[in-house]
């Protein structure tokens, strides 16, 4: 989560010392977020105190509060980063296959074969630690899921248009997109959080994607 700001407010370029301080702030922010993610995923959100996060990030508690007003604020920032990364990965996978049904299949493969096994801490935070928290966290989590669902809905509509087909009803794309994200969440929870079945994810993911593709094709006319 890096914020680039290479000019002062008056438009003048920043000095070398100002650029260095900016880089240091950005690096410190990344370190804090990384420490929080590891602790939230490993110990659980409630057990990971601000003092533990500061100690893990090797910064003072005061520095931590300079960047984040509280632990809830940290969780919201992490959710934003995870949601951004996931949307980018799925979107790039879909576009790589020329906006076709193979793009839907590739996006599913990327989620199960790349995102889930390589980012287990993100999975734990997104699907477990952020659930049932404050109204603010829940509202933010819903916002991210709504964006993901809409991404999938729009992808389905584009595939349908490219194939010269149409959906069974005006709600078909929305229902299917919601179902797909629900499957992603449930399978990740079942085989990575409730069980440690990461070695089986390739097969599990293939079965899930085949099921999804079959459902999509059934709703095409």
Q: What is the pLDDT of residue 7?
A: 52
pTM as predicted:
0.86
pLDDT tier for residue 20 given thresholds of 50, 70 and 90:
confident
pLDDT tier for residue 8 given thresholds of 50, 70 and 90:
low
Q: pLDDT tens digits for 82-116?
A: 999 999 999 998 888 777 889 999 999 999 999 99
Q: What is the pLDDT of residue 5?
A: 47
CA distance 155 to 159: 6
What are 115-118's contacts with CB under 8 Å, separation 24+?
Answer: 115/86, 115/89, 116/188, 116/192, 116/198, 116/201, 116/205, 117/198, 117/201
Could you tell me what percent of the chain has a pLDDT over 90? 72
What sign has the CA pseudo-torsion 76, 80, 85, 87? Answer: positive
Task: Give bridge partners of residue 13 from the DSSP assignment.
Answer: 7
Q: pLDDT tens digits for 116-154?
A: 999 999 999 999 999 999 999 999 999 999 999 999 999
Q: What is the pLDDT of residue 92?
A: 92
């Amino acid at each position: 989560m890096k914020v680039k700001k290479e000019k002062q407010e008056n438009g003048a370029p920043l000095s070398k010392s100002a650029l260095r301080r900016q880089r240091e702030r950005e690096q410190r922010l990344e370190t804090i977020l990384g420490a929080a993610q590891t602790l939230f995923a490993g110990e659980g959100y409630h057990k990971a105190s601000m003092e533990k996060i500061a100690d893990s990030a090797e910064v003072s508690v005061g520095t931590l509060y300079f960047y984040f007003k509280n632990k809830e604020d940290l969780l919201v920032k992490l959710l934003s980063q995870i949601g951004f990364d996931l949307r980018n990965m799925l979107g790039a996978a879909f576009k790589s296959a020329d906006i076709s049904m193979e793009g839907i299949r590739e996006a599913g493969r990327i989620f199960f074969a790349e995102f889930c096994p390589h980012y287990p801490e993100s999975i734990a935070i997104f699907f477990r630690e952020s659930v049932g928290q404050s109204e603010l966290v829940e509202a933010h989590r819903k916002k991210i899921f709504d964006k993901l669902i809409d991404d999938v809905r729009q992808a389905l509509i584009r595939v349908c248009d490219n194939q010269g087909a149409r959906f069974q009803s005006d709600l078909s794309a929305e229902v299917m997109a919601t179902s797909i994200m629900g499957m992603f969440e449930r399978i990740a929870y079942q085989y990575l959080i409730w069980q440690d079945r990461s070695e089986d994810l390739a097969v599990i993911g293939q079965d899930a994607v085949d099921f999804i593709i079959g459902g999509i094709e059934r709703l095409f006319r």
